[in-house]
Amino acid sequence: MMKLADRIESLHESQTIAMARISRELREQGHDIISLSLGEPDFVTPAYIREAAKKAIDDGYTHYPPISGYMDLRQAICDKLKRENNLTYTPDQIVVSTGAKQCIANAVLCTINPGDEVIVPSPYWVSYSQIIQLAGGVPVFIPTDIASDFKITEKQLSNAITSKTRMFIFSSPCNPTGTVYTRDELKVLASVFEKHENIFILSDEIYEHINFIGKHESIAQFDSIRSRVIIVNGVSKSYAMTGWRIGYLAAEKFLAQACDKMQGQFTSAASSIAQRATIAAISRDDAENKIMFKAFERRRDLVLKLLKEIPGLKVNQPQGAFYVFPDVSAFFGKQYNGTVIHTPEDLCMFLLRDARVSLVTGEAFGDNQCIRISYAAADEDLVKAIGRISESLAKLN
């Protein structure tokens, strides 16, 4: 048997995507599965964006675009950053990539040497740890829990920093917890980084527009650390454009140039047609986007109300994104029909079989108490799914 490279042997499959695959397969076999595993808006991309893509094809945008993205798209991103975030960037500081995921991979591969430490508040989004390890870096997790609203403290951050720390990666609004850091909390974190001039701060802001507590706050607003902040954002979540595969990064010019060089060897550039559609997406405040946002807020409230009625679940109060991350540890040690639940993963598999609802175990995000429920699904599916979850959990004793 031919052997693969060590780096792929040690890489884990993305568990969010794996759960989505399993539920699709079970559905194809005729099982009635409700999938709340994948973080993907159930909406179709708004019409004005789809029209822009059709026009791009007819206008002949069929050749290789510049590696970092079309100049007018990068200008539109700078305009967006000024308009919505009051941050000044120039197009040579922007790199457009094949999804925010590739932006993160570019940034990490361009900055992390083998042995470098990258601090990641935990629970964290699945791919951070794997991308860090692909670069030879060492993820250093700062644990948080439901009692602290999944937020790290100044002291925890200071204690995690060593002479080897090279980067800090976090998302706010956070996947998987929905936690949103306030401006004051970000300021406290920024004050720690002020004292450590060799640390990059990768701020994953992909859920920027799905924020139920008001204005989005970026850690890039603090001038003292701004030159070391790498903003990652994209259109997958805010504009229901997951399949278009467009993300972007904003950073100091030398880092943007490095990402351009890296991407030039990997993908050449993101799709020309999707880039043209993205200009339309981010340049207009469309009514359809507001409808999607309102739906997420309504579903969050609906899901929280229903989950809080289930005995044994400890439910957090997400302030953004479209996930709830309840603590399920009260069910550990319980059993049904000979199946004993020891871990969140055991519980997810039990709920997949018994309730026919697919969720993602907290372990995928570095947590061993919780499970992730994505509420980016139709209201009636959410009601049905939580009803079934409730019935199945009641069987455990």
Query: Contact residues for ligand GLU (CB under 6 A)?
Result: 14, 16-17, 38-40, 101, 126-127, 175
Q: Among residues 255 and 373, whose Cβ is nearest to ligand GLU?
A: 373
Exactly one of 65, 69, 121, 247 binds ligand PMP (CB under 6 A); which one? 247
Q: Which does 171 bind (CB under 5 to 8 A by kind): ligand PMP, ligand GLU, none?
A: ligand PMP
Supply 315's token pair. Answer: 């439910």
Strand partners for 141: 120
Q: Which does 38 bind (CB under 5 to 8 A by kind): ligand PMP, ligand GLU, none?
A: ligand GLU
Q: Which does 320 bind (CB under 5 to 8 A by kind): ligand GLU, ligand PMP, none?
A: none
Whether the CB-CB separation of 374 and 322 falls below 8 Å is answered with: yes
Q: Among residues 127 and 233, whose Cβ is nearest to ligand GLU?
A: 127
Listing DSSP states for 35-86 in one string gives E--S----SPPPHHHHHHHHHHHHTT--SPPPTT--HHHHHHHHHHHHHHH-
Beta sheet of 200-204, edge-to-edge order: 94-97, 247-250, 229-234, 200-204, 165-171, 117-122, 138-143
Distance CA(278)–CA(280), nearest Å, equals: 5
- Is position 322 an interface residue for ligand PMP (rule: CB under 6 A)? no
Q: Which does 14 bind (CB under 5 to 8 A by kind): ligand GLU, ligand PMP, none?
A: ligand GLU
- Is position 236 an interface residue for ligand PMP (rule: CB under 6 A)? yes
What residues have CB less than 8 Å from 280, skipping those under 6 apart? 48, 49, 51, 52
x-marked contacts with ligand PMP along 378-397 as a string, rule CB under 6 A? --------------------
Distance CA(312)–CA(225), nearest Å, equals: 43
Q: Between 344-354 and 379-395, two packed helices, what is the crossing angle to 10 degrees? A: 110
- Listed ranges 42-50, 95-103, 108-116, 367-375: which one lies at the site for ligand PMP (CB under 6 A): 95-103
Count other Cβ atoms within 10 Å, centred on residue 198. Answer: 13
- Is position 175 an interface residue for ligand PMP (rule: CB under 6 A)? yes
- Is position 204 an interface residue for ligand PMP (rule: CB under 6 A)? yes
- Listed ranges 98-106, 193-201, 281-289, 362-370: which one lies at the site for ligand PMP (CB under 6 A): 98-106
Distance CA(242)–CA(145), nearest Å, equals: 29
Nearest residue (beta carbon) to ligand GLU: 39
Looking up tokens 């199945």 gives 392
Least Å distance, CB 43 to ligand GLU, is 15
- Listed ranges 96-104, 130-138, 186-194, 306-314: which one lies at the site for ligand PMP (CB under 6 A): 96-104
Q: What is the largest CA-CA distance in the chain?
A: 63
What residues have CB less than 8 Å from 396, skipping those under 6 apart? 331, 334, 335, 336, 341, 350
Least Å distance, CB 294 to ligand PMP, is 21
Residues lying near ligand PMP in the complex (CB under 6 A) are found at: 39, 99-101, 125, 171, 175, 204, 206, 234, 236, 242, 247
